[in-house]
Amino acid sequence: MEKIVILTGAGISAESGLSTFRDEGGLWAQHRIEDVATPEGFARDPDLVQDFYNARRVQAAQVQPNAAHQALARLQSEWPSEVVIVTQNVDSLHEAGGAENVIHMHGRLDGALCAACGHRWAAPPEMAVGEPCPACAEPTARPDVVWFGEMPYHMEEIYSHLSSASVFAAIGTSGQVYPAAAFVHEAQAAGAHTIEINLEPTMGTSGFDDRLVGKATETVPQWVNRLLQQKD
């Protein structure tokens, strides 16, 4: 049976109350990427960067998964073959909605990482600058998120899934950040049927075989219902 690979972005969590990056009033309209989402920004002003992620961590802990997250979890449990969810999101709403084995290619807000030894542990709600690593005691704790200029996580595993996908869906992502923006081409090269599900067509829309335009809480359950009906 057909393997489905799904890429999600900030748009799937928007209706839960988390800001996207590039929509009007989004995070990148309020903060400079160079300041809060690069290793250089962290070296320059670690307090600013920790404050940015502390605020996002607090906010993410207060919101609930929505019908789109829940529909994907249902697809995972009812589809007869593998359903792989790859997310660019650092929130944990897929898991809270019931999804399993979600691949977080840009890391997670609830994780901490030691910049010195690579040790990982659960982030406290508020991370402080200079916090010692529990493994090596260096004062080099940082959020376990991927910044611009850093390599996204789990790439080998993701490419392996894309090369064996029969269906590829990109949900709630503007397709402006690589390598995720090129996953559709990898999947197409493997012969997958590709669909974009987004509030509005993106710059990459023409690269997809199919599209569903509208709010994720409406379009994603519709798409999942359609797939599950086809299966029967």
Instruction: Please report whether residue 34 would count as binding ligand OAD according to CB under 6 A.
Output: no
Of all helices (H) and strands (E), which one includes residue 191? Answer: none
Instruction: Please report whether residue 20 would count as binding ligand OAD according to CB under 6 A.
Output: yes
Instruction: Please report whether residue 200 would count as binding ligand OAD according to CB under 6 A.
Output: yes
DSSP for residue 180: G
Beta bridge partners of 171: 8, 197
- Candidates 16-24, 71-79, 120-128, 188-196: pick the segment binding ligand OAD (CB under 6 A): 16-24
Nearest distance in Å: CB 186, ligand OAD: 17
User: In whole angstroms, what is the distance from residue 177 CA to residue 120 CA?
Assistant: 25
How many residues comprise the chain?
232
Instruction: Please report whether residue 37 would count as binding ligand OAD according to CB under 6 A.
Output: yes
104 is catalytic: no
Instruction: Please report whether residue 162 would count as binding ligand OAD according to CB under 6 A.
Output: no
Upper half-sphere CA count for residue 125 (Cβ side, 13 Å): 5
Q: Among 63, 115, 129, 177, indicate the residue that binds ligand OAD (CB under 6 A).
A: 177
Residue among 48 and 138 whose Cβ is closer to ligand OAD: 48
- What's the one-letter identity of residue 71? A
Residue among 79 and 223 whose Cβ is closer to ligand OAD: 223
- Candidates 22-30, 50-58, 95-103, 126-134: pick the segment binding ligand OAD (CB under 6 A): 22-30
Instruction: Please report whether residue 91 would count as binding ligand OAD according to CB under 6 A.
Output: no
Q: What is the 3-state secondary structure (H, E, C) of 147-199?
A: CCCCCCCCHHHHHHHHHCCCEEEEECCCCCCCCHHHHHHHHHHCCCEEEEEEC
119-128 in b/e burial notation, b at 16+ Cβ within 10 A? beeebeeebe
* Residues lying near ligand OAD in the complex (CB under 6 A): 9-11, 14-15, 20-23, 26, 37, 88, 106, 146, 148, 172-174, 176-177, 198-200, 202, 215-216
